[in-house]
């Protein structure tokens, strides 16, 4: 997988290389309308530190480690040069689905957000069916919002008019996922149960998932993702954590380095931004090229976060860096 030795800049060096940007979203995603991240201009490439604001230092530190790795370490050796991508459909009304899918030319798989606060299962079914009319393979992302009984009911409703590739994190806990897996025929993918767990492999040992959704930033970097992928014995989907073009580029390299890749990856979320820090990679026949991304300096300047938000990210970086040192 390449050089996996430790790389750690000094705090002063890291802060000097930090560029904080704020990217407006086309539609709200996870409740986010403006995505803030700190970019790291490293000697090897650019990295990204974009832990969501509500995450505490212990969880956010892994995201900082991933950004440092990307900026200061050579990428892993890749096995493929094109990565299949799923379209990402936020919790929009069904009539907006064609507009969203038009940003993902050639995509044969779509991930649909469901269980949005304030919406109903009827809304979810309408959205999923609208996607089915345009894309052959549909998966849904629940972000752990359902109880087991709610998930059983929802799985029946969402598959009444066609199959689902899988339900992503339908319930919050591993025990609930294992129980649900025994009660329904729809495959279950684990996301939060892997990236937020002290032991990422416990979900598999518990028989709680058919597929693992792995994200570079929350796991601490591409090399850590590949270690987990090697140890886990279920198929892998590499996904983004609402990354900028820089983070997406790192995710594509991680997906390209996997021994096997049998599912479309959730690395097309850059199309949810009004503006990004680099020109979006061109989606060709539902695939993106695996290559590192260098931001456009002018875009980085134009998308710079306000001074108070830059200070917030600098303070957060100091706090997380102290945890990495220990």
Binding-site residue positions for Mg(2+): 141, 168, 191
Binding residues: 141, 168, 191
Which residue numbers are catalytic?
113, 215
DSSP H stretches of helix in 133-207: 148-158, 174-183, 192-195, 202-205
Identify the CA nearest to 52 among candidates 255, 313, 238, 239: 313
Sign of CA dihedral 164, 166, 172, 175: positive
Q: Are 279 and 304 in contact (CB under 8 A)?
A: no
Among 199, 221, 323, 182, smallest CA distance to 2 is for 221
- What distance in Å separates the CA atoms of residue 322 and residue 325, rounded to the nearest whole number? 5
Q: Can you tell me the distance from the alpha carbon of 266 to that of 165, in angstroms, rounded to the nearest whole number?
A: 14
Give the H or E element holding residue 130. Answer: helix 121-132
Reduced to 3 states, what is the DSSP secondary structure of residue 277? coil
């Amino acid at each position: 997988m390449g050089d996996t030795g430790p790389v750690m800049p000094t705090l002063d060096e890291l802060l000097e290389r930090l560029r904080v940007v704020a990217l407006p979203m086309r539609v709200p995603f996870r409740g986010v309308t403006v995505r803030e991240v700190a970019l790291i201009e490293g000697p090897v490439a650019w990295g990204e530190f974009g832990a969501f604001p509500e995450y505490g230092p212990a969880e956010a530190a892994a995201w900082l480690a991933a950004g440092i790795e990307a900026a200061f370490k050579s990428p892993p050796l890749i096995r493929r040069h094109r990565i299949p991508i799923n379209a990402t459909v936020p919790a929009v009304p069904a009539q907006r689905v064609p507009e969203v899918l038009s940003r993902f030319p050639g995509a044969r798989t779509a991930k649909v957000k469901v269980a949005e606060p304030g919406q109903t299962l009827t809304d979810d079914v309408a959205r999923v069916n609208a996607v089915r009319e345009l894309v052959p393979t549909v998966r849904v992302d629940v972000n752990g919002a359902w109880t087991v009984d709610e998930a059983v009911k929802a799985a029946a409703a969402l598959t009444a008019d066609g199959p689902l590739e899988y339900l992503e994190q339908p319930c919050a806990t591993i025990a609930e996922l294992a129980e649900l897996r025994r009660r329904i025929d729809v495959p279950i993918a684990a996301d939060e149960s892997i990236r937020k767990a002290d032991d990422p492999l416990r979900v598999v040992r518990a028989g709680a998932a058919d597929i693992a959704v792995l994200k570079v930033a929350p796991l601490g970097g591409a090399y850590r993702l590949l270690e987990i992928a090697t140890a886990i014995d279920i198929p892998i989907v590499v996904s983004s954590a609402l990354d900028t073009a820089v983070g997406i580029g790192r995710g594509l390299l991680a997906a390209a380095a996997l021994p096997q890749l049998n599912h479309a990856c959730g690395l097309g979320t850059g199309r949810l931004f009004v503006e990004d820090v680099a020109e979006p990679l061109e989606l060709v026949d539902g695939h993106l090229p695996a290559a590192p991304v260098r931001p456009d300096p002018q875009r980085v300047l134009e998308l710079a976060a306000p001074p108070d938000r830059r200070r917030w990210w600098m303070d957060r970086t100091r706090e997380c860096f102290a945890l990495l040192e220990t």
